[in-house]
Amino acid sequence: MPSPQDSPVPYVPPADVAEARRVQEELRSRVDLVGPGPAAPATVAGLDVAYGQDGDLLAAAVTVLDAATLDVVDEAVCVGRPAFPYVPGLFAFREMPALLAALDRLTTRPELLVCDGHGLAHPRRFGLACHLGLVTGLPTIGVGKTPLVGTWTGPGPG
């Protein structure tokens, strides 16, 4: 039975925009949309990236919490450079290398990831959260502060 864990997807830095889009189109079908995931993850990792004033430096940070107590049980940081220009829809290629490096510095393996940016709410249904989830083999939730695509209506009254 194929599963993300059995066939880890290597991260391949694209050479240009066209290749980046091809990578997304190629990997989108490998996202597990039906897996149950951990019923009660023991740990949850939050990831974020901050930039230097010129945008030429960045720091990726990961903090792992005990899901029950919210105690910080692990953390790691990786300073580097943006790996790709910011192009809407290709955001993952910008921060993924640093995020992966930070994750590699962890002592533990978190059971759930929560990262910046969208996952499925993406033009090709393959945002950062999807890509990160495939490469790490971990269930991942993407959190976007502003929409990238689509429209919606708020919940009705009652």
* Site residues for DNA per CB under 7 A: 48-51, 53, 55, 86, 88-92, 116-118, 122, 127-129, 142, 144-148
* Exposed / middle / buried, residue 67 (Cβ in 10 Å: 0-12, 13-18, 19+): middle
Quote the least distance from Cβ 71 to DNA, whole Å: 26
Closest CB to DNA among 67 and 125?
125
Closest CB to DNA among 67 and 141?
141
Closest CB to DNA among 73 and 76?
76
Residues 61/34, Cβ–Cβ less than 8 Å: no
Strands 43-51 and 140-143: unpaired
Closest CB to DNA among 36 and 88?
88
Dihedral sign, CA of 135, 90, 139, 36? Answer: negative
Residues 135/9, Cβ–Cβ less than 8 Å: yes
Quote the least distance from Cβ 122 to DNA, whole Å: 5
Residues 49/99, Cβ–Cβ less than 8 Å: yes
Quote the least distance from Cβ 56 to DNA, whole Å: 11
Quote the least distance from Cβ 138 to DNA, whole Å: 17
List phi, psi (to 5°) of 118: -80, 165
Quote the least distance from Cβ 69 to DNA, whole Å: 27
Rounded CA separation 38/127 (Å) = 21
Closest CB to DNA among 73 and 78?
78
